[in-house]
Structures are given as C-alpha cells and as structure tokens.
Copies of this chain bind each other. A is one copy, B any other.
C-alpha cells in the first residue's frame, strides 16, 4: 500500500504458495474502488519474477524474504533495491529480574506465536543467570509445551520440512554442553503434507562460550523460520561476549533488551545496531502494540515498513526544487568566472 500511496505503479509478487491470498486482497481493493490498472500481480515462481525484473528495469524494488535471494537481487538490479531480509533476532535479559511471568509469556509469544513464522521472531535468548536461577526457563517450558494443534497455538511450517528442522536440532545438540530444553519431536495426529514442517515448539540450550566459537557460530545463528529458538546464559562480566555475538550476526532486524536498568539499557543500545529495538521490562522482538518503523539498520539497502517515514524512504525519494523568480541583479554584478 505504501508504494501506491506514493504514486508508484507496483508489480507485486509473493511466494507462489500464498499468492492466492494476495490476489484476494487485490480483488477486495478493486471491489472498494481501486482502479484495476494501478497494481499488477504476478503469479508464479521466483525465477519468472527475476526474469521480469531484468527486462522491466523498475526504478526500485522492495524485497522481503531470504538473505540468499536478497543478495542475488542486489547484484542483478545493480543495487536498485531495498531489502528487509533475514531476521535472526536476539533478546537479552539484563541482570534485574522482575515481572517473571510477564517476561516468560512474552518470550513464548516472541518465539512461538504464528508457529514462529515471522521475520521478527525471537531466534536466540541471552538470559542473565539471575533469570535462570529465578526459574524463567521452567516457566517458558511450561508455556511452550502447552501449545497444541487443536487450538492452533502451533501449526504447519511453510518453508522448512519436519526433517530439516529436526536435523538442524540434532546438529546443535552435538555442540559440547548443548541440551534440549523442550520439543525436538514431530507433531503427531495430523494430516499436514510432508512438504511442510510439523514439529513441537523447540528450544536448544547452548553454552555461551561454545556458541561464540567460529566453528559453531554459523549454525547457532542460522534462522529457522518456524517454532524454534536457541537459548543461552550469561553472567556478570560476560556482557562483552554477548555484545560481540550480536555484532557478529550478519543481519540486524529486530532485537529486545529486557531490563529497566537505564544504564544497562543505554550500554547495550550504544553497542548494537539493530533496526527495530525494543527496550524495557516489557521489551519484545515482535508483535509491537502499535505500528513502528520496521526494518534493519546499518545497511544502505535497508528497507523500512509501516510508518510514513519508512514509506517515504522506500517508495519515494528527495527531490529539491529551488524557485528563483527574481528580480535579477544589475549588469555590474554579472562577471565571468
């Protein structure tokens, strides 16, 4: 809609598995009076869309999706692109424990609501040991294991199969000190086709020192677009390692700093670069109560979604008109240079 607001004629393409939904939205817009020629929709595979982009030379492209396709598009389109790609999003719990039930509930929501299929999902949790001692992980386990297919608090995964999620879980569990907190099993009693994923909400604990090792860091920070998260623990004195981990992640979409200690909060904010960062004891990585700018930071190609400023950035650009209607100066002022 932002593209339309700014007067563009967009060509819309979404993953062919959900493209039918967008078509219905467009038909709804037409029903409400939108001119049918204002938006084009392309059904089909991404390769077809890629061919069209090459031929059409659009002025700008907004891409939301995987990091791999994003980088390829950036090259093919010579950088004429805005990206809102990979979301391996972190949450840091500070040393000040309070409102335990609320924080546990928010962790469960951030990681597993919508079966974890949102680019803002909580992918890794850095819990200060004070929270672990206070019983946060038990509380999260209680919440996650109560999710079930029958009330739709868990469901099918579109882009990862059951096998690929469980294989990824196994790889993580081979890291020294790793342990399964909960999940790690297929869902049962359902008719979800095999091309989709169907697993219980899952969390794997990895010791902080192990997660930071170069041989593990890549797999630990791989985004699973499903009901899956990594959990780790840090103690006083280990904040530099936590911040180092955040810095080494390649993409910086959302993040949360759960603490009401203003000096702790300012220190973490001053040493990280994520685009949409929630801070305070109620901090979340996803499902913001109102419509914020949503997008990564630290990359000139970074897209923003939602607010007027974000729409202006992505779907318009600055144009400077200087009016100079006169009067003209006298001839004596007109010298050559």
Contact = CB atoms under 8 A, between A and B. Distances in A.
A234 interface: no
A278 B153 CA distance: 46
Interface in A196-242: none
Nearest to A146: B336
B277 A321 contact: yes
Interface string A56-91: 000110000000000100110111111000000000
Contacts of A263: 260, 325-327
Nearest to A104: B334
Contacts of A113: 336-337
A324 B59 contact: no
Report the copy number of this chain in the oligomer: 4
**Residue of A79, A282, A309 ringed by the most chain B CB atoms within 10 A:** A79
Interface string A76-120: 011111100000000000000001011001001100111000000
24 contacts: A59-B298, A59-B300, A75-B75, A75-B78, A79-B81, A80-B301, A82-B300, A99-B326, A101-B334, A102-B329, A113-B337, A114-B337, A147-B336, A260-B261, A260-B326, A262-B262, A277-B319, A279-B321, A279-B325, A280-B323, A281-B328, A295-B318, A297-B319, A313-B318
Given A79-B81, A153-B336, 16 more contacts: A59-B300, A60-B300, A75-B75, A75-B79, A79-B79, A82-B300, A260-B325, A260-B326, A274-B319, A275-B318, A276-B322, A277-B321, A281-B324, A281-B326, A295-B320, A313-B318
